[in-house]
């Protein structure tokens, strides 16, 4: 039974860096009747467990830790008097934008907002997403879960650790565990290169002399009650383990840093179309999804490397939702599809509906040196944009700005532009 | 002449910097895209320094840890000693983000400061 029903101008789902940035931007653009819904007991999301520095270098021009970065947004939310509900879980969103949420104080709550900003973030891939063979003992954690245990709850998961995956969280946990007295016996990466930012390779792995095995993966887990060890093996280009390279590593903990998945169960219920590559909603440059009035920002759209970019993209979502409410967000132009071509894994946004300059965020498929990014008009194969890069890595998001002039070069008959990464000839 | 290759930690761009050293003297710094990078590379050759972030135990059972950082970078050499000092410290819930938790840790001249509040935001 629905206990009460609330009419709102804007409902923001998620109180992490994405949701807060969207809410602040919306409130500053004059939207008062808005609400942020957060499932945990405080605002700020995962930033509270990210106690390391490196946040805010772009956004605030300051080197902040996760909690400090979160606090800047939380203080602003309080100062602006933005309404939020904590310990509240959104259960359902209907395509006509009715939202059902639940908490222990109010029971079931129905919201009927005019616009919704999806800001649910992402979650970690687990052992079952990557199918690691072996027994099923205790002691296998996702890296982010271990991060929460160590930095917030005050528990060390184990003292002999193998980390599978060299994403940023994995490397940061290698340093964190070493500082707390654990022995990190290996960081194991299936790809021929480190998965996260180079700065983390330097300050988390190299600084602490942590053994790193590239082109390797865990091929067996040993132990019955608690994990006792893992076998790692070299993996060839076809993804098969090479014989006679097996190595047994004794450990009592295995951390998995094997990727993140945007959390879009609610988006799908609302009828939002999902890009199978990013795992997030298909959006235009206003961060609007295919459902009019539903916007999305941050890691729910595509997994970003930096919280700063989460904030920046979500501000666009908040601002666009405000414009939608005031009727300023009309599509006066033809929608142009933005496609990933050769060497590009994905590009966001998926559509351009206006004529103003915008940022394109993309990931390359493979590491490339001295490469050129080209945007080609599919209609007449004309190049509308070109930029050279010294080095491009799949682990580092490429952000490039295309101007109004570039967009004006697109032929009126064209419906699609293609971005490609081209090696030097 | 030696060339020391340094990857800058100043920002996520991670510039590749070459420092040309002749008999312990830095002759030239190349590859840094900004002033921070040049300064970092020179410091990294003389005495590597890092900002240390960790947690300190509190008296509160439901919030057992408070995140902290060194107010500035400290010598890499003193990281282990600083961790040891901080592992013995227990702090009260009155500490707020930005407050000094330990002054001049391990003689580095750098203070340890709280980076979070124990109970939510400042109201």
Q: What is the pLDDT of residues A234-290, one digit of tens each?
A: 998 777 777 677 899 999 999 999 999 999 999 999 999 999 999 999 999 999 999
B34 and B74 together in one domain? no
Which pLDDT belongs to residue A239? 73
Average pLDDT (B44-72) is 94
What's the pLDDT at B59? 92
User: Do B41 and B69 fall into the same domain?
Assistant: no
Q: How confident is the model at residue B119 (pLDDT cuts 50, 70, 90)?
A: low
Statement to judge: residues B33 and B77 lie in one domain: no
Tally of CB atoms within 10 A around A290: 15
B67 & B110 share domain? yes
Using the predicted structure, report yes or no on whether residue A393 has a pLDDT greater than 90. no
User: Distance (Å, rounded) from C-alpha B115 to C-alpha A66?
Assistant: 8
pLDDT at A391 over 90: no
> Within this chain, do residues A74 and A189 fall inside the same structural domain, yes or no?
no
What is the C-alpha end-to-end distance of chain B, expressed in Å? 58
Asked if the interface predicted TM-score (ipTM) of this complex is over 0.90, the answer is yes
Domain that holds residue A278: 4-123+261-326
For residue A347, is pLDDT > 90?
yes
Q: What pLDDT was estimated at residue A5?
A: 66
In a domain, B29, yes or no: yes
Per-residue model confidence (pLDDT) at position B123: 38
Question: Taking CB atoms and an 8 Å cutoff, what residues of chain B touch A38?
Answer: none
Is residue B121 situated within a structural domain?
no
Give me the mean pLDDT over the A395-423 stretch: 90
What confidence tier does B24 reach under pLDDT thresholds 50, 70, 90? confident
Of A277, A302, A326, which closes a domain? A326
Assess whether B15 and B67 both reside in one domain.
Answer: no
Where among A258, A293, A310 does a domain terminate? A258
For range A184-188, the mean pLDDT: 98
Judging contacts by C-beta atoms under 8 Å, the chain B residues touching residue A52 are 53
Whether the pLDDT of residue B94 is over 90: the answer is: no
Binding-site residues on chain B for chain A (CB distance < 8 A): 7, 9, 11-12, 14, 50-55, 57, 64-65, 67, 69, 76, 79, 83, 97, 115-117, 120-123
Alpha carbons A294 and A86: distance in angstroms, whole number: 22
Q: For residue B25, count other CB atoms closer than 10 A to its CB.
A: 7
Q: Is B65 close to A197, i.e. CB distance below 8 A? A: no
Q: What is the pLDDT of residue A153?
A: 94
**Helix or strand or coil: residue A75?**
helix
pLDDT of residue A1: 47
R_g of chain A, CA atoms, integer Å:
23
Residue-level pLDDT at B121 = 43
Distance of residue A123 Cα from the nearest chain B Cα, in angstroms: 23
Please report which confidence band the pLDDT of residue A14 belongs to, taking 50, 70 and 90 as the band edges.
Answer: very high
Residue A391 resides in a domain: yes
Based on the domain organization, do A252 and A294 belong to the same domain? no
Name the helix (H) or strand (E) containing A308: helix A307-326
Report CB contact under 8 Å: B64, A154.
yes
Please choose, from the candidates A205, A253, A180, A197, the residue with its C-alpha nearest in 3D space to the C-alpha of residue B54.
A180
CA distance B50 to chain A (A): 8
**E-only strand ranges, A215-367:** 216-222, 229-234, 247-250, 253-256, 260-262, 294-296, 336-340, 344-348, 351-352, 358-364
Contact list in A for residue B7 (CB cut-off 8 A) is: 198-199, 202
- Say if residues B67 and B114 touch (Cβ distance below 8 Å): yes
- In the three-class reduction of DSSP (H, G, I as helix; E, B as strand; rest coil), residue A377 is classed as strand
Q: Is residue A82 domain-resident? A: yes
pLDDT category, A329, cuts 50, 70, 90?
A: confident
Number of neighbours of residue A91 by Cβ within 10 angstroms: 12
Cβ <8 Å between A57 and B11: yes
Q: Strand order in A140-142's β-sheet?
A: A140-142, A253-256, A160-164, A183-189, A212-214
Residues B33 and B57 in one domain: no
| Structural domain for B76, as ranges | 53-114
Tell me: do A170 and A115 sit in the same domain.
Answer: no
Mean predicted lDDT score pLDDT of chain A:
93
Q: How far is A292 from chain B (nearest CA, A)?
A: 34
Quote the Cα angle for A288-A294-A295, to 5°. 45
- Nearest by CB to residue B65, choosing from A57, A71, A152, is A152
Choose, out of A202, A204, A392, the residue to mutate when testing the contact with B (most B CBs < 10 Å): A202
> For chain A, what percent of residues have pLDDT higher than 70?
97
B83 and B61, same structural domain? Answer: yes
Task: Count Cβ atoms below 10 Å from residue B42 Cβ, excluding itself.
Answer: 15
* Range name among A317-321, A364-368, B108-112 with the lowest pLDDT average: A364-368
- Alpha carbon distance B30, B28 (integer Å): 7
- The CA distance from A131 to A110, in Å, is 39
Residue A163 shares a structural domain with residue A206: yes
Residue A142, helix vs strand vs coil: strand
CATH of the domain at B107: 3.10.530.10
Please tell me whether residues A295 and A250 are part of one structural domain.
Answer: no
pLDDT at B13: 81
* Domain membership flag for residue A155: yes
A60-80 CB burial, b ≥16 within 10 A, e <16: eeebbbbbbbbbbbbebbeee
Domain count for chain B:
2
Q: Which run of H or of E encompasses A78?
A: helix A66-79
Residue A170 lies in a domain: yes
pLDDT of A4 higher than 70: no
Overall number of domains in chain A: 3
Averaged pLDDT for residues A209-220: 95
Residues A185-204, mean pLDDT to the nearest whole number? 93
Give A414→chain B minimum CA distance, Å.
35
What is the structure's pLDDT at A331? 63
* CATH number of the domain residue A88 falls in: 3.50.50.60
* Least confident interval from A17-21, A191-195, A317-321: A191-195
**CATH number where A406 lies:** 2.60.40
Q: Let me know whether A135 and A224 are in one domain.
A: yes
β-partners of residue A250 are: A229
Which residue of B6, B8, B12 is the best one to mutate when testing the A interface, meaning the one whose CB has the most A CBs within 10 A? B12
CB contact under 8 A, A54 and B12: yes
CA distance A84 to A265: 22
Residue (of A62, A47, A49, A41) closest to A17 by Cα position: A47
Q: A351 and A374: one domain?
A: yes
pLDDT for B122 = 42
* A331 in a structural domain: no
Evaluate whether residue B77 is within a structural domain.
yes
Q: What is the mean pLDDT of residues B94-117?
A: 95
Q: Give the per-residue pLDDT at A424.
A: 72
If asked whether residues B67 and B41 sit together in one domain, one would say no
The answer as to whether B95 is a domain residue is yes
Is the pLDDT reported for residue A2 higher than 80? Answer: no
A245 lies in the same domain as A278:
no
What is the rounded distance in angstroms from the CA atom of residue A220 to the CA atom of residue A188? 13
Alpha-carbon span A124 to A131, nearest angstrom: 14
Residues in chain B closer than 8 A to A67 (CB atoms): 67, 97, 115-116
Identify whether residues B57 and B32 lie together within a single domain: no
Confidence of residue A333 (pLDDT cuts 50, 70, 90): low
| Same domain, residue pair B102 and B87 | yes
Do B62 and B107 share a domain, yes or no?
A: yes
């Amino acid at each position: 039974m629905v206990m009460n029903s609330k009419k709102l101008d804007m409902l923001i789902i998620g109180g992490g860096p994405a949701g807060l940035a969207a809410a602040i931007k919306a409130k500053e653009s004059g939207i008062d009747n808005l609400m942020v819904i957060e499932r945990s007991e405080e605002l700020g999301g995962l930033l509270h467990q990210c106690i390391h520095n490196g946040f805010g270098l772009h956004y605030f021009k300051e080197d902040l830790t996760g909690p400090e970065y979160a606090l800047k947004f939380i203080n602003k939310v309080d100062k602006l008097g933005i309404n939020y509900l904590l310990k509240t879980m959104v259960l359902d969103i209907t395509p006509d934008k009715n939202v059902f949420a639940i908490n222990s104080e109010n029971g079931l709550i129905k919201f009927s907002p005019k616009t919704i900003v999806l800001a649910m973030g992402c979650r970690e891939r687990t052992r079952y997403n990557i199918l690691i063979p072996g027994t099923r003992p205790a002691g296998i954690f996702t890296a982010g879960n271990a991060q929460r245990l160590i930095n917030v709850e005050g528990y060390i998961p184990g003292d002999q650790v193998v980390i599978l995956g060299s994403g940023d969280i994995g490397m940061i946990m290698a340093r964190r565990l070493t500082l707390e007295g654990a022995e990190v016996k290996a960081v194991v990466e299936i790809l021929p290169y480190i998965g996260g930012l180079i700065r983390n390779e330097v300050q988390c792995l190299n600084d602490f002399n942590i053994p790193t095995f590239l082109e390797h993966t865990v091929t067996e887990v040993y132990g019955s009650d608690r994990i006792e060890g893992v076998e790692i093996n070299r993996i060839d280009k076809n993804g098969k383990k090479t014989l006679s390279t097996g190595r047994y590593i004794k450990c009592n903990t295995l951390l998995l840093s094997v990727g993140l998945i945007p959390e879009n169960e609610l988006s799908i219920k609302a009828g939002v179309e999902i890009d199978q590559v990013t795992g997030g909603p298909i959006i235009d440059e206003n961060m609007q999804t295919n459902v009019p009035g539903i916007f999305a920002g941050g890691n729910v759209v595509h997994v970003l490397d930096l919280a700063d970019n989460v904030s920046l993209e979500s501000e666009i979502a908040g601002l666009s939702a405000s414009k939608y409410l005031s009727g300023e967000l009309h599509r006066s132009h033809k929608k142009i599809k933005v496609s990933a071509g050769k060497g590009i894994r994905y590009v966001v946004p998926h559509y351009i509906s206006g004529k103003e300059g915008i940022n394109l965020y993309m990931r390359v498929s493979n590491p490339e040196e001295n490469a050129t990014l080209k945007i080609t008009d599919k209609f007449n194969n004309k190049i509308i944009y070109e930029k050279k890069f010294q080095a491009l890595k799949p682990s580092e998001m490429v952000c490039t700005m295309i101007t109004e002039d570039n967009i004006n070069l697109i032929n009126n008959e064209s419906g699609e532009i293609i971005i490609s990464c081209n090696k030097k000839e | 002449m030696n060339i020391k290759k340094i990857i800058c930690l100043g920002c996520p761009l991670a510039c590749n910097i070459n420092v040309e050293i002749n008999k312990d003297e830095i002759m030239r710094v190349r590859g840094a895209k900004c002033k921070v990078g040049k300064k970092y590379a020179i410091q990294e050759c003389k005495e590597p320094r890092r900002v240390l972030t960790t947690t300190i135990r509190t008296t509160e059972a439901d919030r057992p840890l408070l995140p902290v950082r060194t107010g500035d970078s400290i010598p890499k050499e003193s990281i282990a000693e600083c961790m040891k000092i901080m592992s013995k410290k227990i702090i009260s819930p009155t500490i707020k983000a930005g407050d000094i938790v330990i002054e001049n840790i391990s003689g580095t001249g750098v203070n340890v400061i709280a980076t979070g509040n124990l109970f939510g935001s400042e109201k």
